[in-house]
């Protein structure tokens, strides 16, 4: 199964101030929700590539450049 990067998104100190911040991240298989082993908060899946909107914008820029090149 493919694995995805999950990251703890807790801000500030955790564990009653024992840790100044939680920066835990790890690869897990996609599935149920995971909790951080260091502070207990829910982990969030992190995107590791371009978003759909970024891909669409890039494609539109390429089309616009091609149109500019053919109008000469």
Residue 51 phi/psi, 5° resolution? -80, 170
DSSP string computed for the chain: --EEEEEE---S-BTTTTBS----EEEEESSS--B-TTT-PBEEE---S--HHHHHHHHHHHHHHHHHHH--
pLDDT score recorded for residue 72: 53
Q: Which domain holds residue 27?
A: 3-70
Q: Kindly list the averaged pLDDT for each block of 10 residues, start to end, along the chain of length 72.
A: 83 72 86 86 83 89 88 59
Task: Say what the pTM is.
Answer: 0.57
Q: How many domains are there within the chain?
A: 1
């Amino acid at each position: 199964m493919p694995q995805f990067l999950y990251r703890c998104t807790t801000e500030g100190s955790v564990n009653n101030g024992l840790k100044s911040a939680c920066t835990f991240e790890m690869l897990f298989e996609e599935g149920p929700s995971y909790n951080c082993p260091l502070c207990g908060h829910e982990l969030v899946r992190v995107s590791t590539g371009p978003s759909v909107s970024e891909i669409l914008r890039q494609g539109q820029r390429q089309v616009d450049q091609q149109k500019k090149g053919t109008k000469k």
